């Protein structure tokens, strides 16, 4: 049975510098108008967002079928080598709720592109923070039950990244059933509300997460955020 969590809004609201960075503004180079827009977007996000999360533990065998998806994954991916050595796997999904996406659309429709883009950036950062909240929540649960060794690391992966094809959402959703927190899947495997994140949280010995971002699909990745998260595990 899956567990549903209400995520505190204070745990997901991004910092001003994170929102500006997501807009391509380097630290220290924002104009007062940009900073004001970012601050307004963060306040508005706090008023609109209702973050919810859902998690479901699954075995390596169960995840094997889920990860295979529709057969569209890249031939070789880092996840191929990681999950068979996992100590625990948990499917997850988080969402900020429909009102956030609706307001972003209304702002763009009204021609307020600056505020629409800033709220969109703030919401994307918040959705990632919500996924991080679930990851941290799982770590606390495992530690409290003494099921997390000092040598263990925790890392999440999502369809659409690291060679896991976006169509993998279909089997993931069938297993997790995140409709309970208001997330649906379109025919093109995109989630609604748009500001949602899904995937798997993998727990295992830190060594299993060591891989070079030199896969062919890594060239298309704009952030290489896996490097930062992997470095945190190795600390």
DSSP 105-169: HHHHHTT-HHHHHHHHHHHHHHHHHHHHHHHHHHHHHHHHTT---TTEEEEEE-TTSTT--GGGH
**pLDDT given for residue 219 in this prediction:** 86
Distance CA 168, CA 202 (A): 16
**pLDDT given for residue 141 in this prediction:** 93
**pLDDT given for residue 119 in this prediction:** 98
Element of type H or E holding 64: helix 60-68
Strand partners, 137: none
- What Cα–Cα distance (Å) separates residue 78 from each residue in 32, 60, 158, 161, 166? 42, 15, 12, 10, 16
Domain that includes residue 147, residue range: 3-234
Spatial neighbors of 68 by CB under 8 A, at least 6 apart, are 171
Low-confidence ranges of the chain (pLDDT < 70): 234-235
Torsion angle of the four alpha carbons 219, 81, 90, 146, in this order, in degrees rounded to the nearest 10: -120
- What domain count does the chain have? 1
Element of type H or E holding 199: strand 196-205
**pLDDT given for residue 76 in this prediction:** 95
Residues 134, 94: contact at Cβ < 8 Å?
A: yes
Strand 152-157, strand 184-185: pairing: unpaired
Distance CA 136, CA 60 (A): 21
Q: Can you read off the two tokens belonging to residue 128?
A: 């990632």
**DSSP code of residue 192:** E
Q: The domain spanning residue 123 has which CATH number?
A: 3.40.109.40
**pLDDT given for residue 235 in this prediction:** 66
**Phi, psi for residue 102 in degrees, rounded to 5:** -65, -45
Distance CA 65, CA 47 (A): 39
Residues 55, 3: contact at Cβ < 8 Å?
A: yes
């Amino acid at each position: 049975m899956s567990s549903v969590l209400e995520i505190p809004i204070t745990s997901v609201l991004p910092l001003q510098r994170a929102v500006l960075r997501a807009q391509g503004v380097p630290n220290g180079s924002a104009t007062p108008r940009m900073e004001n827009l970012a601050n307004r977007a963060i306040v508005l996000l706090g008023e609109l967002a209702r973050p919810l999360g859902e998690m479901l533990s699954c075995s390596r065998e169960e995840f094997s079928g889920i990860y295979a998806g529709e057969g569209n994954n890249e031939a070789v991916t880092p996840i191929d080598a990681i999950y068979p050595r996992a100590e625990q796997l948990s499917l997850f999904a988080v969402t900020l709720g429909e009102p956030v996406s609706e307001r972003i659309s209304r702002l763009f429709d009204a021609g307020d592109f600056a505020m629409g883009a800033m709220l969109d950036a703030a919401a994307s950062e918040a959705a990632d923070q919500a996924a991080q909240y679930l990851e941290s929540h799982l770590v606390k649960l495992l530690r409290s039950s003494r099921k997390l060794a000092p040598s263990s690391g925790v890392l999440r992966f999502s369809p659409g990244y690291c060679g896991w094809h976006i169509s993998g959402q279909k089997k993931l959703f069938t297993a997790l059933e995140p409709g309970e927190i208001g997330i649906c899947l379109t025919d093109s495997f995109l989630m609604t509300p748009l500001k949602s994140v899904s995937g798997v949280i993998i727990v295992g010995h830190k060594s299993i997460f060591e891989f070079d971002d030199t896969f062919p699909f890594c060239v298309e990745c704009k952030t290489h955020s896996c490097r930062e998260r992997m470095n945190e595990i190795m600390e």
